[in-house]
């Protein structure tokens, strides 16, 4: 089995900087935002040190990197200006994803706010139909969501309803987030294999492209979306992981995760300390059995 595991890393020093940071964590993949996730400001591609980054990745066996679309993209928005921005900027981010050498751009489906879930599903599908073209190369991966507020994507059925309405379905994938699915009510702790069977029946395992591997600060079904460090106990400054190391370790080593990018988005302990290197080592080591 081939385990591709890494974390979110900063792109502030270009793709070469991101790749070097990932390598320092002993990662063999990683995830980036192409700029700050809260705004549309982006450096020109020629300033992103892409060629140097790709060369470094080839030299250090880092591959299948992932791009995450910014939070400001809301394809379910009721406001036309926000909806228009979501489509135009997603189109630009797809171009940047391809330039970075990534096959995957992860997108939060969107929030319908004052409408209802059917409105949100229709709105998202319409937006994707306006963005996707036959020339789109990266998979646009809809992320499983925790279900807080009016988020669309808290169930496999909601995600499949979006896919059903998209014309270029072959351009779509799914990013499975362990914190989000746990918080939305799926029992990934005790029943992951059957959850995957359910996913296959509703969506199809062929669409499963990326995993976000995160603990959760909340009990199953809380719909709160608060990430925890892997297997953290009550002494952790950020709080205790309610999913637990055993469940997340078993998911990482499940054959369904073979050769798929597994990305940590776990919290930093403080402004200068993260546990990515330690968490990657914990989850990768086949001898590390609970």
Please report the DSSP string for 151-168 in residue order.
Answer: BS-SSHHHHHHHHHH-S-
255 carries a ligand binding annotation: no
143 annotated to a ligand binding site: yes
SS3 285: coil
Contact 65, 100 (CB under 8 A): yes
Contact between 230 and 264 (Cβ < 8 Å)? yes
Task: Find residue 261's DSSP bridge partners.
Answer: 4
Q: Which own/partner pairs from 112-115 qualify as long-range (CB within 8 Å, at least 24 positions apart)?
A: 112/76, 112/77, 112/78, 112/150, 112/152, 113/76, 113/77, 113/78, 113/149, 113/150, 114/78, 115/78, 115/150
Helices (H) and strands (E) in the chain, counts: 9, 10
| Residue 265 is labelled as binding a ligand | yes
Q: Residue written as tokens 């996913």?
A: 199
* Residue 61, annotated as binding a ligand: no
Annotated ligand binding at 51? The verdict is no
206 annotated ligand binder: no
Nearest to 77 by CA among 86, 67, 68: 86
Pairing mode, if any, of strands 4-7 and 139-143? unpaired
Is residue 212 a known part of a binding site?
A: yes
Would you list which residues are annotated within the binding site for Zn(2+)?
68, 108, 143, 177, 180, 212, 225, 227, 265
Binding-site residue set: 68, 108, 143, 177, 180, 212, 225, 227, 265
């Amino acid at each position: 089995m081939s385990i591709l595991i890494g974390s979110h890393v900063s792109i502030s020093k270009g793709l070469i900087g991101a790749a070097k940071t990932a390598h320092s964590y002993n990662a063999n993949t990683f995830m980036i935002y192409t700029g700050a996730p809260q705004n549309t400001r982006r450096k020109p591609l020629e300033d992103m040190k892409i060629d140097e980054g790709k060369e470094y990745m080839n030299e250090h066996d880092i591959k299948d990197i992932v791009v995450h679309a910014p939070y400001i993209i809301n394809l379910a928005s009721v406001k036309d200006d926000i909806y228009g921005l979501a489509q135009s900027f997603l189109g630009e981010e797809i171009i940047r994803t391809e330039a970075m050498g990534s096959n995957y751009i992860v997108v939060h489906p969107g929030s319908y706010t004052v409408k209802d879930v059917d409105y949100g599903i229709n709105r998202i599908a319409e937006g994707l139909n306006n963005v996707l073209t036959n020339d789109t190369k990266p998979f646009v991966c809809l992320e499983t969501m925790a279900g807080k507020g009016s988020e669309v994507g808290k169930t496999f059925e909601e995600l499949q309803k979006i896919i059903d309405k998209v014309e270029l379905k072959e351009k779509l994938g799914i990013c499975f987030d362990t914190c989000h699915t746990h918080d939305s009510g799926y029992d990934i702790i005790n029943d992951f294999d059957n959850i995957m069977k359910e996913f296959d029946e509703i969506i199809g395992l062929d669409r499963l492209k990326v995993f976000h591997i995160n603990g959760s600060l909340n009990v199953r079904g809380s719909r709160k979306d608060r990430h925890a460090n892997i297997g953290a106990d009550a002494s952790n400054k950020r709080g205790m992981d309610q999913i637990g190391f055993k469940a997340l370790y078993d998911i990482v080593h499940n054959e369904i995760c073979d050769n798929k990018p597994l990305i940590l988005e776990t919290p930093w302990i403080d402004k200068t300390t993260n546990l990515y290197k330690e968490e990657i080592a914990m989850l990768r080591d086949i001898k590390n059995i609970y």
